[in-house]
C-alpha cells in the first residue's frame, strides 16, 4: 500500500477562545477541546453552546496541562482539528444501500491510538465500508492514529456517534446483523455467516464489549485459544475476525 505523505495528515492544536469558535463555525472537524477548569465568561459560554450543538467532545483540565501543550497565550482553551472528516451514520447507510453485503466495524471504547490505527489499516485492507466509534471514550482521531494506520484513516469513512447502543439499533433496523467478538461465549468466530450485511463489534482493551452492546448482538463469537494466555491484543483480534469475513466473502 502506498503510504500517505506526512503533510497530508499532520495537524497542530489551535488555541484561543475566538479562533476556536471561528474554526467551529467555519465547519472544521474538531477532534476534541481542552478547557481550563473553572473558566467562565460570555465567550466561554458561547463556546460551550457550540460544542453542545455540534457534539464536540469537551474536557475540563488543569491549566498545567494546557501550559504543557503550548506556551502561547491559549486563554484557557486548546482545540485539536481532526485530520479526517467524519461521516454521519445515516449518510453511510444511504451510501451502502445498493451494496449487496456491506461490512462495518464498530469499536466500543478502543482507546489506544496505535491499536486504533492498526485496526483501521486492517479494515481498509479487507475492504470494510465504514468504522463506527463513540464520541466519548474512544481513541483520538489524530495525526498519530493516521500515521499508525499508514493513511488508512483518510480512506475508510469514520462515523463518530454519540450513543453506540442507538447506533447499533439503527444499523439492525436497516438490515445489518451484529457479530460481537468476545471471549464470553463458546461459539466460534467461524460459525456466523459473514456474507450478509454485517457489523463486527470489537471491545475495549481492558473490559471488552459493553453489556449493552453484547445483549443486542445477533451472534457472540470467540476466537479459539489454545495457549495459556487468555486474550489477544484488540488489533490482532480484529484482524483475525475481519479476515474470516473476507475469506467467506471471497470463497
179-228 pLDDT, tens per residue? 999 999 999 999 999 999 999 999 998 899 999 999 999 999 999 998 88
pLDDT band at 81 (very low <50, low <70, confident <90, very high): confident
Report all structural domains of the chain as residue ranges with CATH numbers, in order of start: 6-81 (3.30.1330.30), 89-250 (3.40.1280.10)
Phi/psi at 132 (nearest 5 deg)?
-110, 130
Most trustworthy range by pLDDT among 17-21, 132-136, 148-152, 241-245: 241-245
The DSSP code sequence of 201-214 is EE-BTTTBS-HHHH
Dist. CA 175–CA 197, nearest whole Å: 7
pLDDT at residue 230 is higher than 80? no
pLDDT band at 28 (very low <50, low <70, confident <90, very high): confident
- Residue 24's nearest CA partner among 62, 74, 96, 77 is 77
pLDDT at residue 8 is higher than 60? no
**What pLDDT is recorded for position 31?**
82
Work out the mean pLDDT of the chain and round it to a whole number.
91
Specify the range with the lowest mean pLDDT, choosing from 49-53, 81-85, 205-209.
81-85
How many CB atoms are located within 10 Å of the residue 77 CB?
23
Q: Which helix (H) or strand (E) holds 160?
A: strand 158-161
pLDDT tens figures, 129-151? 999 999 888 998 887 888 899 88
Contact 158, 105 (CB under 8 A): no
Angle (CA) 175 176 177, round 5°: 125
Contact 29, 86 (CB under 8 A): yes
Taking the alpha carbons of 193, 231, 211, 240 in that order, is the dihedral positive or negative? negative
pLDDT band at 11 (very low <50, low <70, confident <90, very high): low
Angle of helix 17-25 relative to helix 42-54, nearest 10 degrees, comes to 30
pLDDT at residue 3 is higher than 50? no
**What pLDDT is recorded for position 32?**
85
Contact 130, 103 (CB under 8 A): no
Contact 60, 36 (CB under 8 A): yes
CA 230 to chain centre: 25
pLDDT at residue 84 is higher than 80? yes
Mean pLDDT to the nearest integer, 33-55: 93
What spatial distance separates the first Cα and last Cα of the chain, rounded to whole Å? Answer: 23
Amino acid at each position: 500500500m502506498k503510504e500517505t505523505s506526512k503533510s497530508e495528515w499532520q495537524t497542530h492544536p489551535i488555541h484561543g477562545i475566538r479562533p476556536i469558535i471561528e474554526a467551529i463555525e467555519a465547519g472544521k472537524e474538531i477532534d476534541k477541546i481542552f478547557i481550563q477548569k473553572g473558566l467562565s465568561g460570555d465567550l466561554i459560554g458561547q463556546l460551550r453552546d457550540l460544542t453542545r450543538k455540534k457534539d464536540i467532545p469537551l474536557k475540563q483540565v488543569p491549566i498545567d496541562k494546557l501550559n504543557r501543550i503550548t506556551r502561547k497565550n491559549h486563554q484557557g482553551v486548546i482545540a485539536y482539528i481532526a485530520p479526517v472528516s467524519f461521516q454521519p451514520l445515516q449518510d453511510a447507510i444511504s451510501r451502502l444501500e445498493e451494496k449487496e453485503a456491506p461490512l462495518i466495524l464498530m469499536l466500543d471504547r478502543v482507546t489506544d491510538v496505535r491499536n486504533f490505527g492498526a485496526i483501521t489499516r486492517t479494515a481498509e485492507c479487507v475492504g470494510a465500508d465504514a468504522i463506527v466509534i463513540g464520541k466519548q471514550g474512544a481513541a483520538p482521531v489524530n495525526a498519530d492514529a493516521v500515521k499508525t494506520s499508514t493513511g488508512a484513516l483518510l480512506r475508510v469513512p469514520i462515523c463518530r456517534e454519540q450513543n453506540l447502543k442507538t447506533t447499533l439499533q439503527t444499523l439492525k433496523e436497516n438490515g445489518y446483523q451484529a457479530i460481537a467478538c468476545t471471549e464470553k461465549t463458546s461459539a466460534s468466530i467461524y460459525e456466523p455467516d459473514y456474507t450478509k450485511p454485517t457489523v463486527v463489534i470489537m471491545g475495549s482493551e481492558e473490559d471488552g464489549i459493553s453489556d449493552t452492546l453484547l445483549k443486542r448482538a445477533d451472534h457472540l463469537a470467540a476466537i479459539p485459544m489454545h495457549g495459556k494466555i487468555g486474550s489477544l491484543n484488540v488489533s490482532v483480534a480484529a484482524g483475525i475476525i475481519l479476515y474470516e469475513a473476507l475469506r467467506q466473502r471471497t470463497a
